[in-house]
Amino acid sequence: MPDILVGLCCQAVIDANIVPALIDVMGRAEFKTRKEAAWAITNAVSGGSADQIRFLVDQGCIPPLCNLLTVMDGKIVQVALNGLEHILRAGLQESKLHGGMNLYAVAIEECYGKKTSHFLCSCLAEVMLLPA
């Protein structure tokens, strides 16, 4: 599934109305399938325009990405963090253009993404300090 967004134009995927299904799968499917959907959404926000990222956010991609921050799979946590990072960067650019808050950051905080990501970072730092 990630290759859908890597191999095709993000806009073509949006126009084909595939995004709502990907977001639904990312939030509710069996874990292996959720991982694939997360890769696809992260690829879309990584290479998407501001308008495309806004569309993905409006479709609800932030809550399922935040939920993936708590799984016991370091690779998929990194994928979710990468996706959220790109969303936050796009939100920062929009806030600079419009002279307001980063609304994407607010959305992430509302679903506890910021709290969870700080928790994960502190846990990783603690593990790295432990003797082998």
Q: Using the CB atoms, write b or e for 86-114: b if 16+ within 10 Å.
A: bbbebbeebeeeeeeebebbebbeebebb
DSSP state of 69: G
> Model confidence at 115, in pLDDT bands (50, 70, 90)?
low
Residues 94-100 have a mean pLDDT of: 87
Non-local CB neighbours of 38 within 8 Å, separated by 6+ positions: 26, 64, 65, 68, 76, 79, 80, 83
Determine the Cα–Cα distance for residues 83 and 25; give it in Å rounded to an integer: 16
Say which range, 11-15, 63-67, 97-101, 124-128, has the weakest mean pLDDT: 124-128
Tell which wins on pLDDT, 127 or 25.
25
| Contact yes or no for 88/105 (Cβ under 8 A) | yes
Say what the pLDDT of residue 118 is: 63
**What's the rounded Cα separation, in Å, for the pair 47 and 11?**
11
pLDDT in tens, 38-56: 999 998 898 888 999 999 9
With a cut of 90, say whether residue 3 has pLDDT above it. no
69's tokens: 């921050």
Q: How does pLDDT run across 52-91, given as a tens digit for each residue?
A: 999 999 999 999 998 998 899 989 999 998 899 899 889 9
40: exposed, middle or buried (Cβ count in 10 Å: 0-12, 13-18, 19+): buried
Distance CA 50, CA 10 (A): 12
Rounded to whole angstroms, how far apart are CA atoms 78 and 17? 26
Which pLDDT value is given to residue 51? 92
Structure tokens belonging to residue 123 = 């846990």
Higher pLDDT, residue 3 or 19: 19
Distance between CA 52 and CA 14 in Å, rounded? 8
pLDDT tops 90 at residue 13:
no
pTM: 0.80
